[in-house]
Amino acid sequence: MSSAEYDASFIAEALPAFVSEAEEQIATIEQLLLQLEDAPDDRGLLDALFRCAHTVKGSAGIFGLDAVVGFTHHVETLLDRLREGEIALTPELSTLLLRCNDQIRQLVAQAQGGEADADGEARRAALIAQLGAQGQTASAPQAAAASVPAPSAAATTRWNVAVTFAGDTFRNGMDPLAILHYLAQAGTIERIACTGDTVPALELLDPENCHLGFDFDIACAQGRDAIEEAFSFVRDDVQLQIAALEAALTGAPVSDVAAARADVVTAPVPGATETARAKGREAGDSNRYIRVQADRLDAVINLLGELVIAGAGRCCWRARAARPRWWRPTSTSAASSRRSATARCSCAWCPSARPSRVSAASCATPPPSSARTSRCTSSAATPSWTSRSSSASPTR
Amino acid sequence: MPTELTIYTAAETRQAWLAALAEAGDGPLRLAADSVAEADAAGVQLVLALSRSLAERSRSLRLVDPSPALRGACERLGLSALLSSGDAA
């Protein structure tokens, strides 16, 4: 089955479940809004309202219903500000949200194959504009939210990172170069110095010991968490210090471009900065998850199973290969061939490996002398024939 | 310089360079660096150690014609200075 067919069949199977769940959430949003008319400050209700919208948006995202996600995002942003107390729930706002809710319902219905309404698009655009107009600081975060795919300058922050890698870094399979490459993709490394003063001369160097440390400035839109995450695989192997650079800007030797960018950072409306930062964090968190189809996950787990089996097979093969070179099942006698069939492997994976039973069997029925050589089995590390040559007397 | 300047070849590369160091000579040590196809931090650290050893002998290291892989690794690690000594040659 091709991946496109996988997608189609998965969506066809699961979409009805999404639609019914979304309809429940939409009905709940309506009820909550009505309840809030009597208690507009109830934090519990506001939280529940936000969660409902968030759930609809999240599950619509799984199905790639971009229209639902895009519109619900605006509603969710406003609900977030409501529950943070930045704006108050007025009756007008409540009406606006109810109308938005109707539009979400319509979009969900369309996702299931309902007819697209011609003027719905315009109506939703008008609603989005009204949502954006709520509260005086609304425009800044809304504008930032609207341009989510483009890197938002407001979220870009500069950091100074001082990191020292422990000696075992290389031995643990980690490469500081790879981490820096990764960071260079997550942001812009503006200045880097290697603090490798502790690197000894070649004569004294253990080449597998890491003596490297770095000091660099990085402009990273995803903030401190993203930087820390780059070091997550070496957390035990690094001393890491990350400091925000805005405060130290005047003293730091930065290029004009960087200084100009820093101005942008400090420019946003007071109060909106925190929100923008929280958004950045949220975006960073969501980047840590990937969506994988259950079918594909199944396929991967099956492959993993086969890999384990193949690994066990390889282990058996190696055990066989590790036998002494003189090991040849030369005799064709029934006894020896039976023995060599059972005495194949001592590895833990192999179900036929019963070293103790094998040796007991060999002792109980000493083989004819011609087959003696085949008695050495995979426990060949300590060749059994050395100790048994006397008991398996050739006179027998 | 080896084609692969990484942790996997670090031990043998070190031996080879120690042998080169042992040969008497003065003036800069010139290393043809155009064949390096792969470099990691362990490899670049080795170059740093070599340049340190040479400095102790009042000599310097010249990386002749560093390959893009080596150049990229040194620049990313903030060790462009290792390269510039080569350019000066």
- The span from the CA of A78 to the CA of B34, in Å, is 58
**Is the separation of the CB atoms in A208 and B10 below 8 Å?**
yes
Give the closest of A192, A212, A215 to B45, CB-based.
A212
In B, which residues are within 8 Å of A181 by CB distance?
A: 76
Rounded CA-CA distance A330/A295 in Å is 50
How many Cβ atoms sit within 10 Å of the Cβ of residue A234?
Answer: 22
Nearest to A199 among B7, B10, B45 (CB): B45
Check the CA dihedral B63-B68-A190-A174 and report its sign. negative
Q: Which residue in this structure is represented by tokens 């009756």?
A: A91
Position with higher pLDDT, A6 vs A80? A80
Write down the pLDDT at residue A187. Answer: 82
With cut-offs at 50, 70 and 90, classify the pLDDT of residue A237: confident
A156 pLDDT more than 80:
no
pLDDT digits (tens, 9 = 90+) for A3-49: 677 777 777 888 888 888 899 999 999 999 998 888 888 888 899 99
Give the H/E segment covering residue A187: strand A187-194
Between positions 57 and 86 of B, the ones with CB within 8 A of A are 73, 76-79
Tell me what pLDDT residue A189 has. 87
Which of these, A37, A47, A49, A24, lies nearest to A105 by C-alpha position?
A24
Residues 32-51 (B) with a CB less than 8 A from some CB of A: 39-42, 44-46, 48-50
Mean pLDDT lowest among A165-174, A227-236, A354-363: A354-363
- pLDDT tier for residue A324 given thresholds of 50, 70 and 90: low
| Cβ atoms A141, A73 nearer than 8 A | no
DSSP β-bridge partners for residue A213: A164
Q: Is A156 left (phi over 0), alpha (psi -120 to 50) or beta?
A: beta
Which residue type sits at A257?
V
A307-322 pLDDT, tens digit per residue, is 999 888 887 777 766 6
**pLDDT at position A290, please?**
77
**Per-residue pLDDT averaged across B22-42, rounded?**
84
Which whole-number Å values give the CA distances from A377 to A257, A319, A343, in the listed order?
Answer: 72, 9, 6
Indicate yes or no: pTM above 0.90: no
As for the ipTM of the complex, it is 0.88
Question: Quick check: A167 contacting B, CB < 8 Å?
Answer: no
What are B51-78's pLDDT values in tens digits? Answer: 888 888 888 888 888 899 999 999 899 8
Of B52, B43, B30, nearest in space to B70 by CA: B43
Higher pLDDT, A386 or B36: B36
Tell me how close the Cα of A199 comes to any Cα of chain B, in angstroms: 6
**pLDDT greater at residue B79 or residue A354:** B79
Structure confidence by residue, pLDDT tens digits, A194-209: 887 788 888 888 888 8
Tell if the CB–CB gap between B42 and A175 is shorter than 8 Å. Answer: yes
What pLDDT score was predicted for residue A246?
A: 63
Long-range (24+ apart) CB contacts under 8 A made by B80-84 are B82/B44, B82/B47, B82/B48, B82/B51
Spatial separation of the C-alpha atoms in residues B37 and B32, rounded to whole Å: 13
- In this structure, what is the dihedral angle of CA atoms A300, A302, A303, A305, given to the nearest 10 degrees? 130
Query: Is the separation of the CB atoms in A74 and A148 below 8 Å?
Result: no
